[in-house]
Copies of this chain bind each other. A is one copy, B any other.
Amino acid sequence: MISSEVTPRLFVPKSDVKIVMVVVDGLGGLPHPDTGRSELETAALPNLDRIAAAGSCGLLTPLAPGLTLGSGPAHLALFGYDPWKNEIGRGALSALGLGMPFTVGDVAARLNFCTVNADGLVEDRRAGRIPTDLCQKLCESLNEIEIDGAELTVAPEREYRATVVFRGDGLAEGVSDSDPQVNGVAPQVPEPRTPKDARMASVATEFLYQANQILHGQHPANTVLIRGFGRFPSLQGMREVYGLKSLAIAAYPMYRGVARAVGMDVADNGLTLDSQLHSLHENWEAFDFFYLHVKATDSAGEDGDFTRKVSLLEEIDPRVAQIEKLAPGVLIVTGDHSTPAVMRGHSWHPVPVVLASPWGIPMAAASQFTERSCALGSIGQIPSASLMTLAMAHARRLHKFGA
């Protein structure tokens, strides 16, 4: 049963017990062919091993055996929402992450500033990774675009990436990308998937037409590609579902976005682990639930950099011991999905989880924070979307169901 489907009357709204969930992005890995040991098995993780040996371990299945998830749905599952029923368009996550004006009825999409040649073919989908301040200037000029019956806001993200939010009657998200995903071909025309998406497709087409007029003659960013249309998600918040005042401490916009989508407050932290820990300390009294996101491990896995992923895990280990000093009632360390360096991408493999609380059942065979050790833990293999119920139970924030 998915945590957010548990009736809210079972959750105890008032409690001093705090829950910390550390999400190490792309945590799980696979054995290195030379050593037979995974990233977690290679890293020296004295604190995580100690917590695993004394606490409850298990494996989380992000959605179902074999399914590989993107970070958006994988995070929704960790927060107890059904990622299958609650798909959030990537553009919506970006708009939420950037804190743009974005509300019910709006549709957001991601933009790439890009270079097309004289024949109209994409020469560089990233426009030479233009600097962020140029991106910001270009966004300002795109904000001049006027479309009949629709308002729009464009905001810069990083380098060549930006996000646009459209507002107006009859907008929908079923529109195809103009981004062809490869160089050497022409951008595509946004097409509606169903008749009710026609209005959004024509607004997007008009937007691209005017953007081309504005950017024409610029270099290297002489056009813009649009992709990942997504409407404002209407999910019940963590407060309504679990009664938890929740704070996200995440550096990257998408993770801040998915946290906002489930009604979390988002801390104003920096990019480093230490700035995230500082933020955790500063906000300790004001919240019940803390989601702390670590991005770099996933990037190392995507780059196929086994050694860098190992080092990053070793950097996280002492920070977990620092979090322990705050004495959370429940401390969870897990990942949203696996990103084995040997696969250079997300995978479907279940993700190790350790849960520390006074009510755990430690298992002698599960005394290390690794994929194989956690497979023998007392939590067993459960869906990611059940983790929040378990966390609430260990926090003693769940009433009994039935007499």
Which A positions have Cβ atoms within 8 angstroms of B? 1, 3, 6, 10, 30-31, 38, 59, 63-74, 83-84, 87-88, 90, 93, 228, 254, 343, 345-350, 359, 361-365, 371-372, 375-376, 378-382, 386-394, 398-403
A-B contacts, 22 listed (Cβ < 8 Å) = A1-B64, A1-B84, A3-B66, A30-B361, A38-B361, A65-B389, A65-B393, A66-B386, A66-B390, A67-B393, A67-B398, A68-B400, A69-B402, A70-B402, A73-B402, A74-B402, A361-B372, A363-B375, A371-B378, A375-B376, A376-B376, A380-B381
Return the chain B residue nearest A89 by Cβ: B403
Please state if B401 and A69 are interface contacts (CB–CB under 8 Å): yes
10 nearest A-B pairs in the assembled complex, by CB-CB distance: A66-B389, A1-B64, A70-B402, A66-B393, A66-B390, A73-B402, A380-B381, A90-B403, A70-B403, A65-B386
User: A390 to nearest B CB, angstroms?
Assistant: 4
A343 in contact with B365 given A87-B402, A228-B403, A348-B398 (CB within 8 Å): no
Q: Which residues of B contact A63 (CB under 8 A)?
A: 1, 401
Q: How far is the CA of A316 from the CA of B10 in the complex (A)?
A: 34
- 4 additional contacts, CB 8 Å, given A65-B390, A73-B401, A380-B380? A66-B389, A66-B393, A93-B403, A361-B375
Q: Which residues of B contact A59 (CB under 8 A)?
A: 380
Q: Which residues of B contact A343 (CB under 8 A)?
A: 359
Please state if A392 and B66 are interface contacts (CB–CB under 8 Å): yes
Return the chain B residue nearest A371 by Cβ: B361
User: A27 to nearest B CB, angstroms?
Assistant: 14
Q: Which residues of B contact A38 (CB under 8 A)?
A: 361
Which listed residue, B67, B362, B372, B389, touches A1 by the CB 8 Å rule?
B67
Q: Which residues of B contact A376 (CB under 8 A)?
A: 365, 375-376
Q: How far is the CA of A348 from the CA of B349 in the complex (A)?
A: 26
Q: How far is the CA of A68 from the CA of B38 in the complex (A)?
A: 36
Q: How far is the CA of A65 from the CA of B394 in the complex (A)?
A: 11
User: A2 to nearest B CB, angstroms?
Assistant: 8
Please state if A402 and B361 are interface contacts (CB–CB under 8 Å): no
Please state if A380 and B386 are interface contacts (CB–CB under 8 Å): no
Please state if A68 and B401 are interface contacts (CB–CB under 8 Å): yes
Please state if B380 and A375 are interface contacts (CB–CB under 8 Å): yes
Q: Which residues of B contact A381 (CB under 8 A)?
A: 380-381
Which listed residue, B70, B362, B375, touches A401 by the CB 8 Å rule?
B70
Please state if B386 and A350 are interface contacts (CB–CB under 8 Å): no
Q: How far is the CA of A349 from the CA of B363 in the complex (A)?
A: 14
Q: Which residues of B contact A228 (CB under 8 A)?
A: 403
Which listed residue, B64, B69, B387, B393, touches A348 by the CB 8 Å rule?
B393
Please state if A349 and B361 are interface contacts (CB–CB under 8 Å): yes
